[in-house]
Amino acid sequence: MKKIYLAGYDVFYPDAAERGQAMKQLCKRYGFEGLYPLDNEAQSAQEILAGNLKLIEEADIVMANMNPFRGMEPDSGTAFEVGYAVAKGKRIYVYLEDCRTLRQKIGETDARGFAVEDFSLPLNLMIACSAVVVEGGMEDCLRRTKAGE
């Protein structure tokens, strides 16, 4: 059974542990073993980092929730995990509810006047070009991941 590391800001929800169990059950329905960041039971920042990197290394696939978090961009920790997984040669699938291009979502510049890239991608090119991008939720992404096996 292939292992999927479940990256995303889901760990910040008040019911994060229950949410993680539900996500892992959904993985099981599709024939995968889900590895959730809270599985490492770490307490300190350094332990969390080391534990999550170990889980990514154990995984065959990384699936990331790249919906906006605390602003217009995905969670920075999740973006880091995706980059780490790319460097480790993992298959990457990301999902987001709105796959319009960045320009369609934000415009030519953001609220602070910074240019918005124009590559017709729904995420920053570093993520969008390194992953299979799936519009929808986790289950949509699992279906696509299963089809890509």
| Domains: count for the chain | 1
Spatial separation of the C-alpha atoms in residues 113 and 106, rounded to whole Å: 11
On the question of pLDDT at 31 being above 80, the answer is: yes
Rounded to an integer, the average pLDDT of 91-110 is 97
The answer to whether residue 35 is domain-embedded is yes
On the question of pLDDT at 65 being above 80, the answer is: yes
Longest CA span, the chain = 47
The answer to whether residue 105 is domain-embedded is no
The answer to whether residue 104 is domain-embedded is no
Model confidence, pTM: 0.96
Q: Strands, DSSP E only, in 49-138?
A: 61-65, 91-96, 132-135
CATH number for the domain harbouring residue 84: 3.40.50.450
Domain of residue 52 covers: 3-98+124-147
The answer to whether residue 85 is domain-embedded is yes
On whether the CB atoms of residues 74 and 7 are closer than 8 A, the answer is: no
Amino acid of residue 58: E
The answer to whether residue 135 is domain-embedded is yes
Rounded to an integer, the average pLDDT of 17-41 is 97
